[in-house]
Structure 1
């Protein structure tokens, strides 16, 4: 595969997986409720996303860095709301 095609696939995957968090973040913020959000799952997820971000930084892989930075922000936002809206 050529580098531009590989990057395109990476950016598309990054957009899709990152944008998947937006509806949950929006719904939790709008309703001011997070009873359907698993605390344990989001704690583990935030740790995993942070590791993916570190991995992307080590590789200087922009699609991985951008996607995981944005996803980490969204996941932390949801996790904080879970803790606040007990």
Structure 2
């Protein structure tokens, strides 16, 4: 598999896993409540996404950097809403 193909797979996977957060963000924002969101799970998840972002930066891997930056922003938004709407 050449580098272009592997990057394409990486970008596609990154788009799909990042877009998966949008319905949760939208629903939390729209309803102004987050009782169905686990605080401990989102703390762990957000920490893990931050580590993936750091890994992407260290590896100079744009699919990992872009996806995890956007995912980190979305996860932090949900985490923030969980804290605010407690």
Task: Encode CA deviations 1:37-81: one digit per residue, 9 max, x unaligned.
Answer: 000000000000000000000000000000000000000000000
State the Cα distance separating 1:33 from its structure 2 match. Answer: 0.6
Q: Residue 40 of structure 2 aligns to a residue in which SS?
A: helix
Inter-partner Cα distance in structure 2 for 1:9 and 1:68: 15
2:83 corresponds to: 83
1:18 aligns with 2:34: no
TM-score w.r.t. structure 1 length? 0.99
Hey, which bits of structure 1, 4+ residues long, moved more than 6 A?
none
**Equivalent residue, structure 2, for 1:64:** 64
TM-score of the superposed pair, with normalisation by structure 2: 0.99
CA RMSD after TM alignment: 0.3
Deviation for aligned residue 1:85? 0.5
In the alignment, the residues of structure 2 paired with residue 56 and residue 27 of structure 1 have an alpha-carbon distance, to the nearest angstrom, of: 29
Give me the whole-angstrom Cα distance separating, in 2, the residues matched to 1:43 and 1:28.
16
**Deviation per residue, 1:20-43 (Å, 9 max, x gap):** 000000000000010000000000
Gaps of 5+ in 2: none
Task: Name the SS of the counterpart of 1:42 in structure 2.
Answer: helix
Output the CA distance in 1 between the equivalents of 2:82 and 2:45. 14
